[in-house]
Each structure stands twice: as C-alpha cells, then as structure tokens.
Amino acid sequence: MELLKLNHCLRILAISLGILSWAVISQAAGLSAAHHIQIELIPDAKKLIGRDDITIKTNGTEVLEFRLAKRATRIEVQVNKNPRNFNFENGRLRLTLKPHERFGELQVTILYAAKFDDPVPVHPINMDNPGFGVTGTISEKGSFLLAGAGWYPDLVDSPASYRATVTAPSGLIAVTAGRSLGHRIESGKSVSDWEVKYPVEGLSLSVARYVVEEKSRDGVISATYLLPQNRHLAPAYLEATAGYLSLFSDLFGAYPFQKFAVVENFFPTGFGFPSYTLLGGRVLQLPFIIRTSLGHEIAHCWWGNGVYVEATQGNWSEGLTTYVADYRFKEMKSREAAREHRQQWLRNYSTLVTPQNDFALDRFQSRYDTVTRTIGYDKGAMVFHMIRRILGEEAFWGALRDIYRNRLFRRTSWSDLQHAFESRSKQSLQDFFDQWVHRRGAPRISLDEVRAEHTGNIWQVKGQIIQRKPYFSFPLMLALEARKQTAIQKIFVSGRATSFEVSSDHPPQKLTADPADDIFRRLSPSEIPPAVNALKSSPTVITVLSAELDPEIKKAAATLALSLGLKHNEFVTESELDRQMLAENDILVIGLPRRNDLLLKMPAGITIQSDSFSLNEKLFKKPVDTFFGVFEHPAAANRIAALFMPLSPQYAEVVARKITHYGKYSYLAFQNGKNLAKGIWPVETSPLVHEWDQVN
C-alpha cells in the first residue's frame, strides 16, 4: 500500500488498520508434535475449557516445555495416560521426562481452563500499531485467540500439525488454518473441526456467527467467513481470491494450502495467517481492499506463511510481498503507475526516516510505526526491485521459484535469498546485500558540472554524479533529451564523484539521472512536496486555533493532533503565536486565521475564504465541506504549515480521524466526511535534472 486515485489512499487506510503477517519463529530443537486440541468456549464467562492430546516425537529431550496462558487454571497432565506432576510458572508448563521416555513417541494429554478478556478497541484513533496489543479475547460478539496467547499448550521450539475441535454455543463457527472438516450441531452446541497437516509454527483461532461460503477451483477452496451484515460481499471476495491464487501459483509454484479464507474480525484489526486473512468488517467493506490488501495477504501464503522467515536475521517477507503483490498490481496497470509507486517509496523514506531513526533492513522484524513500515515494506520492496533490474526477468522470477520449491515451511534468511539470486544469475551479490540489506542509509546523489561541448556535428555532454557519504555503488541510468529523442546511457556510480560523457547529434535539452526512479535514494528536500506525512513526522508542531473557533471544531483539532500522532504538539491561539514560536515550529492552523502572515505560501490553485474554498477551480461552499492542506512554512525554510478548515462543525470530527490515512497527499477536500479531491504539489526542482536554456 495515489489527488491521486481513490484506491491509493484507501490502501493506506487498510495498512494503518493493520494487516500483519503472522509467523511465530523459535529455535528448532528436533521435536515434533501432532495436537488434537478440543476446546469449549463459554463466551459469557469469557473463558474456555480445553483438552489437548499431543503425540510428541522426542529426540533426547529431558524436559518438555509448553506455552500456556499465564492465567490457565485447573491444569492436569497425563503422560501415556498416567497422571504426571508438572511445573507451571509464568505461562510455561514444564514436564520432566523419565529416561525411557526421552526417545520415541509419547502421548501427552493436558487439560486446562483459561480466561481471555483483552479489551478490544472499537474506534481506534491512531492505527499505526496494527495489533492493538490484543492477543486473546472471548466474548459474546466473537473470539480472537492469537497463536502466542496460550489458548492451547504450544510445545516450544517445534513445528506441529493440528486437529482442532471447537465447541461453542449454537450459531458460533470457528475458523483457523488448514482444512475444514465441517461444522455441525451436537447436543444443541455448534462444533467446528479443522485439520492442519503441514508444519505450522503456532495456530490462531477466530470464532463468530459466521456465514460460510466456499468455491473450489483447481483443487483449492476459496472461502469467506463473514458476519451476516457483510455476507453480500462474499461473491466478490471468492472470485478475487481464486484469481490471486492462480496468479501467484503461476508465478511461484503451486499454492501450499488446501484453502484460502477471508475471515471477518469483529474489531478493526487485520492479520494474514497461513491459509487465511482476518480483516475487520469496516476494512472488508472498503472497495479497494479486494484490489490491494487481499492480494498482499494471499501472496504471504508463499512468502512468510509458506516460506518462513528466519527472524533472527531480519524479516524479508514484507518487502518481498509488497513487491510481488502491491507493486506488481501497479505494474500490471501501467508503467507510469508502477513508477509513481516507486516514487512514493522514496518520498516515504525521505520524509519519515531520518538518519537518527534509520536502521538496516536486516534488523526489521515487524511493523509497529511509520518508520518500521517504511524500512521493512518500502525499502524492502525497492531492494527487490533493484535485484530484478540487475538480474533481469528470467533470473529474478526463476530464483523466487527456486526459493519456494526448496524452502517451503523452512525458516529462510536474507542470505538464503542472496544465494538463490546468485546461483540463478551466476554472479556475486555480496556487495549489493552488504550495502542495501546489512547497512542502513541510502545514497544522496546529485548532478554536478554538467556542460555541453559542441564539436563538428556532435554535442558532448559531460558531468559528474556527486555522492555524499556514506558512498554506495550502483548502476545508474542517464537520459539525455535532444530534439524529441532520448539517449539512454548506463553508468556505474561509486565513491564521491563519478564522471560521465553522453553524446548527442542535436543540441541537448535535458539530462536526467535515474529517469525512472529505479534506485533507492534519499531525495533532496526540493524533490519532496509538503504532505501529510511531513506533518506526521515533524519533531515539533504548534497547533494554532484561529479566533472565534467553534468548540466542536476545537475538539476535532484535538482528535486530528492525536490521530496524526503529533510529537511535542502545543495548542495556542493565533494571538498567542509570536514571531519566534512561528519561526521555530511547524504549524497546523485550525480554521481560517485573521492574521494574514500564516498562509503566505499557499500554492496557486487554492483560494480560501471564511465560508468557502476553491481547489483547482472547483468551488466548495457547503457547510459539509472541509479543506486540509500542507504547504511551505511562511517564515522558515524546510518547515511546513498546514491548514485544517471545516466550513462547519458538522463533519469536522469525522474528517479529523481520516486525514492521517492520506499521508502522501499535499491537499485534501472532503464533503459529508468523504474525500472528494486529493493531490500532491508538483516537484519543481531536482538535483538529478539539468536543463539547458533553449536558444532559437
């Protein structure tokens, strides 16, 4: 997850609502387990009663250790049907094995009860953290039990296969990974049976009053588990799911699971698990989810939930999934859409990641804020793009097929990926991985000393690419435009200065380095139009309340500051804002100020009045209209000013919650709380472009 297109901004919303790939990683110890989990949910008491019959192949192990909910009670343990003493402390249940039990097969039965009542967010305001800290909750509305919550005894350090039988009050249906063995009614209760035959590192469970729909294509079931009010969405999701499954199967190899299910969550969180995705109802209703997040989550069934991540060496799966799904969908649309997407990655990195909070890609584990998202997803994807540019189509996609074939259900590291790309392309990528994966930062480059020399009928364009430290080495394209013709030349940049020479039969007009934005780099400030993201990552903001502001709009201003996650934010009235405060801070102005010195740098194309505004010649004057824009600061270079101007209090609060999802945009217009217009100011100058004055 461009006044750009609707689907793009909605994608940001989807991401912010949190779609997180789930792969629990631990150290393998040679144990393997087959569970038969039988639980009964008692939603009115927020608890479950469980029994797990586990067949374990021991391998010299002296102590078996299980993760089980800290608050588990009524625990009983049997080994080969005989009661056994155990130790249970701080969510760890330990059994000491007798010498003759340490090699071979053991039958361990664990009985337990546990309460799960994590509070569930209803209308979260700031959604950069996708998990909301909820790991387990059982309620009348639904139940959500994450793999790490200890809802069954999870044998530490061992992948396992599962049979899960979930009994619940009538009408409640359980869904998890693997294959459904059916849902039935028994003694007035509902029973759901599931089987997971491949090695999963932790099982999650969702239970609610689902309406189940299924569709089979090429031996794989697409399924939806939706709450009754969203059941009408099923046909579109089933169709799209089947389409993605065949798209990715063609690209990478056969889908590794028997089904893929779209499961509705009863609160606004989203996850991608092996063979299903769990999305909040409001997210599912967004029309672009089918075109964006759904494909991303399905791609994770190959990358992250199929080929596992060796997390000790960094999580590569988000970058790769973003590249082969989100980015590839843009590429399938058009070359220009793909390029805009790459530009956005560069803008995100350049505005959201500073030299202080930057870190190497191999240190990325999971997304919990905009910095981790930008490095793990955006930079990660751009690194795969650069690998593809070096390797070419056949070797790049071939290497991904090799990795999938050789490493399905195995923990896989950046170096495993490196080896696969190297053996397909028959070249060392050590320097590439060292600088892009194992080192933080990004190149900062500019054109320098560009000049054209005319001899005979030939123009020689000479110049240098100058790098600031730390230096990177990479191939770089140069495009020289001369009389409607473009000459492309590839050079190899390294060190502080790299000289180049390009010749042309015509007088040169424009020289552009990296014309297609194929290189991951830190943009110069002139290349980044002011946008919502700049406000979100600002170190200090002063929120300026204009005079005679409606109290409801004041309240919305507080919501806006909170949802943007503003740091060191201070509220002042416009009369309290002195010259020094103005010069030393980014400002967010609420309502049309009386002072005329705050919005001096508002771009052409926008007119603001007390009861109307116009944007690119479109007039907005209804009380239900709201304007939001980010511009250059009136008094300080490299700072920004923003204006939030609802024409009445009516939709102020609604819009205040939404703006944070439009991070890359410079300006937004809303009507009745819905976005009607959005855009990014054009870039006026770039250090990678040199233009010649046109004589004649």
Q: Which amino acid is at 368?
A: Y
x-or-dash pattern for Zn ion, window 576-615, by CB under 5 A?
A: ----------------------------------------
- What token pair was written down for 11? 């994608």
Q: Which is nearer to Zn ion, 8 or 639 (CB)?
A: 8
CB of residue 136 to Zn ion, shortest distance in Å: 22
- What token pair was written down for 425? 């392309």
Interactions with Zn ion, residue window 231-250 (CB under 5 A): none
Phi, then psi, of 106 in degrees rounded to 5 = -125, 145
CB of residue 297 to Zn ion, shortest distance in Å: 7
CB of residue 206 to Zn ion, shortest distance in Å: 18
Q: Which is nearer to Zn ion, 273 or 667 (CB)?
A: 273
Contacts of 574 (CB under 8 A, 6+ apart): 544, 545, 546, 547, 589, 593, 594, 595, 598
CB of residue 42 to Zn ion, shortest distance in Å: 34
Q: Which is nearer to Zn ion, 245 or 478 (CB)?
A: 245
CB of residue 304 to Zn ion, shortest distance in Å: 7
CB of residue 404 to Zn ion, shortest distance in Å: 17
Window of 14-22, 159-167, 242-250, 465-473 that interacts with Zn ion by CB under 5 A? 14-22
- What token pair was written down for 582? 């103005």
Q: Which is nearer to Zn ion, 373 or 639 (CB)?
A: 373
Alpha carbon distances (Å) from 148 to 22, 91, 672, 692 = 10, 11, 41, 61
Closest C-alpha to 284, from 672, 665, 13, 1: 13
CB of residue 326 to Zn ion, shortest distance in Å: 9
Query: Using the rule CB under 5 A, which residue among 12, 18, 21, 364 binds Zn ion?
Result: 21
x-or-dash pattern for Zn ion, window 417-446, by CB under 5 A?
A: ------------------------------
CB of residue 319 to Zn ion, shortest distance in Å: 9
Q: Which is nearer to Zn ion, 21 or 224 (CB)?
A: 21
- What token pair was written down for 201? 């590192």
Window of 21-29, 87-95, 131-139, 545-553 that interacts with Zn ion by CB under 5 A? 21-29
Give the position of tokens 């109307």: 612
Alpha-helical segments (H) within 564-593:
579-584
Q: Which is nearer to Zn ion, 142 or 380 (CB)?
A: 380
- The C-alpha atoms of residue 93 and residue 68 are separated, in whole angstroms, by 7
Q: Are 621 and 525 in contact (CB under 8 A)?
A: no
- The C-alpha atoms of residue 266 and residue 175 are separated, in whole angstroms, by 13
Interactions with Zn ion, residue window 503-532 (CB under 5 A): none
Window of 13-21, 383-391, 562-570, 653-661 that interacts with Zn ion by CB under 5 A? 13-21
Name the residue number minimizing CB distance to Zn ion.
Answer: 21
Burial 534-553 (b: 16+ CB within 10 A, else e): bbbbbeebbbbbbeebeeeb
SS3 content of the chain, % helix, strand, coil (to 5): 30, 35, 35
> With CB under 5 A, what is the number of residues at the site for Zn ion?
3
- The C-alpha atoms of residue 335 and residue 331 are separated, in whole angstroms, by 6
Q: Which is nearer to Zn ion, 270 or 591 (CB)?
A: 270
- What token pair was written down for 33? 């387990």
Interactions with Zn ion, residue window 299-358 (CB under 5 A): 318, 321
CB of residue 507 to Zn ion, shortest distance in Å: 49
CA 108 to chain centre: 39
CB of residue 315 to Zn ion, shortest distance in Å: 10
Q: Which amino acid is at 359?
A: F
- H helix and E strand count, the chain: 16, 41
Q: Which amino acid is at 460?
A: Q
Q: Which is nearer to Zn ion, 154 or 326 (CB)?
A: 326
Q: Which is nearer to Zn ion, 270 or 593 (CB)?
A: 270
Phi, then psi, of 414 in degrees rounded to 5 = -55, -40
- The C-alpha atoms of residue 412 and residue 407 are separated, in whole angstroms, by 7
Window of 17-25, 92-100, 449-457, 517-525 that interacts with Zn ion by CB under 5 A? 17-25
CB atoms within 10 A of CB 117: 13
First to last CA, the chain: 46
Q: Which is nearer to Zn ion, 381 or 534 (CB)?
A: 381
Q: Which is nearer to Zn ion, 21 or 537 (CB)?
A: 21
Q: Which is nearer to Zn ion, 161 or 321 (CB)?
A: 321
- The C-alpha atoms of residue 61 and residue 102 are separated, in whole angstroms, by 5
Q: Which is nearer to Zn ion, 160 or 283 (CB)?
A: 283
Q: Are 11 and 297 in contact (CB under 8 A)?
A: no
Structural Rg of the chain based on CA atoms: 28
Q: Does 498 bind Zn ion (CB under 5 A)?
A: no
Q: Are 102 and 64 in contact (CB under 8 A)?
A: no
CB of residue 21 to Zn ion, shortest distance in Å: 4
Phi, then psi, of 686 in degrees rounded to 5 = -140, 140
- The C-alpha atoms of residue 585 and residue 66 are separated, in whole angstroms, by 52
CB of residue 1 to Zn ion, shortest distance in Å: 9
Q: Which is nearer to Zn ion, 321 or 543 (CB)?
A: 321
- The C-alpha atoms of residue 319 and residue 304 are separated, in whole angstroms, by 11
Residues in the chain, overall count: 696
CB of residue 20 to Zn ion, shortest distance in Å: 7
CB of residue 579 to Zn ion, shortest distance in Å: 47
Contacts of 677 (CB under 8 A, 6+ apart): 3, 615, 616, 618, 667, 668, 669
Phi, then psi, of 317 in degrees rounded to 5 = -70, -30
CB of residue 663 to Zn ion, shortest distance in Å: 18
Q: Which is nearer to Zn ion, 374 or 498 (CB)?
A: 374
Q: Which residues bind Zn ion (CB under 5 A)?
A: 21, 318, 321
